Amino acid sequence: MTLEPLLRRLDRIAGGRHADLEVPVEMLEHRKTKRAFTWITWLLAVEVLLGFAAVIVAVVIALNHGQVPFAVWMRSVVVLGMTVTLFYFSWRASRGWYWAYQRLRLFAQIFPIITLVMAAIPNLYPAWMVTEQIIFSLIMIGVADILIGDHMRTAFRRPDRPQARDAATA
């Protein structure tokens, strides 16, 4: 049993009108593309570990009768979930789906800004979480830097949409 039909349905939801656009195979198999996705995978793995670490720290503090603000719980769980979602986007982009590259690039550019702005709000998060957010942002900036490099922008340039059959030629 293959999961691809189910994944394609999920892609249709996540990718919208661009869900069927694929990048050229020769660009996808290029060594620079493969190396870029290897780096992105490692950086996202570090992000997931950092996210799990934040949840574990919050749990340990709570179990030791410490105060863990609601904002810490929300940020920890939501960001961990979003980072796992970025893994899906990265995996689908590495398979040649244009929409996944676009989503991954968008979120990798937006997340650091949001995270740093949130970290700058006085007394919203404890110092350990502010530090975690800064590290998270720096790693995500690294992911974005890889994605907006010349090679990746060339490899994932918007493919031409297939032309609809003209009724006059049918």
The residue range of the domain holding 45 is 23-155
pLDDT tens, 132-152? 999 999 999 999 999 999 999
Q: Is 160 part of any domain?
A: no
Q: Is 13 part of any domain?
A: no
Query: In whole angstroms, how far apart are CA 160 and each of 24, 37, 153, 163?
Result: 11, 23, 15, 8
Q: Is 43 part of any domain?
A: yes
Q: Is 140 part of any domain?
A: yes
Q: Is 5 part of any domain?
A: no
Residue 164's pLDDT is what? 45
Domain count, the chain: 1
Strand-pair partners of 22: 97
What is the average pLDDT value for the chain, to the nearest integer? Answer: 87
End-to-end CA distance of the chain: 38
pLDDT tens, 29-86? 999 999 999 999 999 999 999 999 999 999 999 999 999 999 999 999 988 999 999 9
Q: Is 15 part of any domain?
A: no
Q: Is 16 part of any domain?
A: no
Please tell me the pTM assigned to this model.
Answer: 0.83
Q: What is the CA radius of gyration of the chain?
A: 19
Q: Is 102 part of any domain?
A: yes
